[in-house]
Chain A
Amino acid sequence: MISLRGVGKSFGGFRALDGVDLEVPAGRVQGLLGPNGAGKTTSVRVLTTLLEPDDGDALVAGHSVRTEPHEVRRRLGVSGQYAAVDDKLTGHENLTLVGELYGMRRREAKARAQELLEHFRLDTVPRGQRAGTYSGGMKRRLDLAGAIVARPPVVILDEPTTGLDPRGRRDTWDAISDLAAGGTTVLLTTQYLEEADELADSIAVIDAGRIIAEGTAGELKAQAGGSRIDVLLVPGAPPEGALRAVAEAAPGAEYDQRAHRITASAPDGPETLRRVLGRLAAAGEPVAEAALRQPTLDEVFLKITGTPGAARLPAEASTGRSDS
């Protein structure tokens, strides 16, 4: 349904896309995971016909972005990283506008707009209220609604939750899950492994304009060494004894001085965590917090490329959550 074939794009001397190949079958939710500057947005801009590739071609529902961009646009819904809603228009007017530009009649577009406002729970605000007064999460949902006004078979979402608060992220995730349940083929870009894990059937990892790994979330996590354990030490406590205790029970134990935290691999998941806690208790080492978590995108990167991702990720994305 979506197909990128050797897509290359340079800006001046910078190679933003360096031969990207990706196949997304119909009905699948494909995650495109990578740090800032990896080529996610450029890929999206090529697929949405906003940017012409230098090399290769991209197909959407069998139509080339190069030779049949209009056919591509008719089958595509897009929602961007920066919600491109018109602040001066109400939610209803925004969606009606998009509907009319998809070629719907005004009355049809208005009815569809109303339907989508209800679906995305945007009908709770007064009808005359402008989109400029919406919260970040509401704006993003409005933008998302705009992407599916014409019920396109393919929807492309560029970092749909970046910059949202946890509540807004949850709401947006629900909306995307609904979309996928309806059979729409979705390509979504994200910086968060957790998000790709939650939403995508399959994940492609992109770095420096190339796809460097592909697979399910589980496969990628396994490649990065599976689950991880975080042990946060009590403030002021010396780390040596605790580090020794953790290392006896789990491989790859490391001490992060800035966070005053020990991190290790958890090949046996909860069982490893239990062993680590047992060792710590036996050694009489006090611990502030201990948790089992998924590897972060950074750790996946480190494992696959041997170098950390191009950008450090916001901590809230993957820490502070226990999956046990």
Chain B
Amino acid sequence: MSAATALRDGVVIARRNIVNVRRTPGALVTGVAQPIIFVLILAFVFGGALGGGAYRQFLIGGILAQTLTFNSSFTAVYLAKDLQQGIVDRFRALPMSRVGVILGRTSSDLVTSVISLVVILACGLAIGWRTHADPASVVLTFLLLLLFAFAVSWIGAVIALTARSVEVAQSLGLLWLFPVCFISGAFVSAEMLPGPLRLIAQWNPVTAVATAAREGFGNPAPAGFEAAGGWPAEHAPLYALLCCLAIIAVFAPLAVAQYRRISRR
């Protein structure tokens, strides 16, 4: 099966998915409301103790990384729904690419992530967040964030293809997000975490993406936040990029393998 067929089928499926999302606007409410809630809670409930206005500059990069990670659960739920309703079986009986269905899903879910990005930045601007970087840096940061959203979406796909019921996919798809997003430097400096958690946070891809976003938008850490040390912190954009590629390299083949495995059950 050629890569061209996979891409072509991916586009066809992605188009179908986007039409679906557009006709189920209720499904987008979570994608829009969730980041707003996180921004407001962290900025005004915890933010006061963490540096007030200065923390709000720091926060947005973290919210971006966390929200895009959370968006992988949309992939898990939508794909599980198609599996459960027999739509995927219909696709599997067609002479189409084996990657096409999943690629279409992970691509179309980028639309949700673009919406989340816009909502977060608008919300940030409303509470005083500003970018202090040149446009090229801002654009590159956007692209890195979308690549990350695309990468974690494949994790959601693997969860759906393993769970195969909407309920299981939904709970599994959310469960792993909390430790991954909170044992990180998304909302505080990784250096503020104790012992082993600090080590995890330093190497956590979410930390790298949050740090890279802050660097890319020119948002400094508030006074009192100890600057994170170590290679990942010093090369955050590069490390974030490598993490994205590594996630895709691991989870895309895993998703395709799971997709093939369905025919043995």
Contact = CB atoms under 8 A, between A and B. Distances in A.
* A and B held together in a complex: yes
B87 A101 contact: no
Contacts of A98: 90, 94
Contacts of B33: none
Contact of B19 (A78, A93, A103): A93
Interface string A123-150: 0000000100000000000000010000
Contacts of B87: 84, 86
B23 A88 contact: yes
Nearest to B9: A101
Contacts of A93: 16, 19
Interface in A1-56: 48-52
A82 B87 CA distance: 10
A76 B19 contact: no
A112 interface: no
Interface in A68-93: 70, 73-74, 76, 78, 80, 82, 84, 86, 88-89, 93
Contacts of B19: 88-89, 93
Given A70-B1, A101-B9, A50 B16 contact: no
A100 interface: yes
B16 A89 contact: yes
Given A84-B85, A84-B86, A101-B12, A48 B93 contact: yes
A97 interface: yes
Nearest to A156: B93
A73 B262 CA distance: 16
B198 interface: no
Interface size class of A (residues with CB under 8 A): 20 to 34
Nearest to A149: B94
Given A50-B89, A73-B95, A100 B23 contact: no
A80 B89 contact: yes
Contacts of B91: 101
Interface string B1-38: 10000000100110010011001100000000000000
B214 to A, nearest CB: 39
B130 interface: no
B121 to A, nearest CB: 29
Most buried by B among A70, A130, A146: A70
B142 to A, nearest CB: 29
A50 B95 contact: no
Contact of A88 (B24, B90, B100): B24
Of the candidates B94, B100, B262, the one having the most CB atoms from chain A within 10 angstroms of its own CB is: B94
A52 B92 contact: no
Nearest to B96: A101
A146 B89 CA distance: 13
A49 B263 contact: yes
Contacts of A82: 86
Interface string A274-294: 000000000000000000000
Contacts of A73: 93-95
A80 B263 contact: no
Contacts of A102: 94-96
B93 A97 contact: no
A80 B96 contact: no
B90 A103 contact: no
Nearest to A109: B12
Contacts of A80: 86, 89-90
Contacts of A88: 19-20, 23-24
Nearest to A74: B95
Nearest to A152: B95
A84 B89 contact: yes
A253 B95 CA distance: 54
A75 to B, nearest CB: 9
B24 A51 contact: no
B25 to A, nearest CB: 11
Contacts of B9: 101
A50 B96 contact: no
Given A82-B86, A88-B20, A146-B90, 12 more contacts: A49-B93, A70-B95, A78-B93, A80-B86, A80-B90, A84-B85, A84-B87, A88-B24, A89-B20, A98-B90, A102-B94, A103-B95
Which 6 A-B pairs rank lowest in CB-CB distance, beginning with the nearest? Answer: A84-B90, A73-B95, A84-B86, A74-B95, A101-B96, A48-B93
8 contacts: A49-B263, A52-B264, A88-B20, A88-B23, A89-B20, A97-B16, A100-B12, A130-B23
